[in-house]
Structure 1
């Protein structure tokens, strides 16, 4: 991949805020209310992230990704929860300065929205 085709999210990111839809009751869960903290690192073709809830480990995953237009897709090849292995997650994204906004929809319903802050200077 040439330097002109590098994905815009290349680098290291820290979760700023987010929300997701609870699978059990359909309510939106605010990440700050459940004390989720996460770091994500992306090379030109792969990503990994680790998430803590409070001071305890919560979830980790890694795999490949692709970026096309305003669509960012993660393919989980490794996951701390076996049910998440080999799943694909498709997000609509935008990057504004050092903030990366990701939104994921399922059947016309927003199920996840995250805002990440760039930790390094690669752009």
Structure 2
């Protein structure tokens, strides 16, 4: 009788542990989709800096509008000089998001050297602000720079 009782207790403990593990897995999925939901939307660039080997450039956004749109797995961006048809460009592709590691694969762009390239970034969302930073390294295009971009959500 003691052996049956011990087996019953062991099975009960294993069932509880498995149950807890399943709840934790579900919790991670909820957190991951929550972050993904936070990033989805339309964002306007309000600050941009580019650091190269020996210089720092702060983007002048006073006469341009830069918009980024993110859905569940694709992104697109557009730049337009205010009040002009000059200087328009855009691009897009797919992205992955794991925690705060955000990687864009640029599939649609007018520069061949950039097409298909993956750009890894770290993102942070604070309220209605998205902060994206990382190194853009594309030797074929002569690009190696660290960028920091801050966007606000367009409601």
Q: Shorter-chain TM-score: which interval?
A: 0.7 to 0.9
TM-score (norm 2): 0.64
Give secondary structure in 1 for the equivalent of 2:87: strand
More helix by share: 2
TM-score (norm 1): 0.79
C-alpha distance after superposition, 1:26-79 (max 9, x if no partner): 412111279553101111010000123564325311100011111111001111
Partner of 1:64: 94
Which one has the largest radius of gyration? 2
Partner of 1:113: 148
Asked whether 1:44 is paired with 2:44, we answer: no
Count of residues paired in the alignment = 115
1:100 deviates by 0.2
Give secondary structure in 2 for the equivalent of 1:32: coil
Equivalent residue for 1:19, pick from 49, 53, 56: 49
* Greater relative contact order (Cα < 8 A, sep 6+): 1
- Structure 1 unpaired stretches of 5+: none
Is the CA contact 1:14–1:40 (under 8 Å) kept in the aligned structure 2? yes
More strand by share: 1
Is the CA contact 1:73–1:91 (under 8 Å) kept in the aligned structure 2? yes
* CA root-mean-square deviation: 2.6
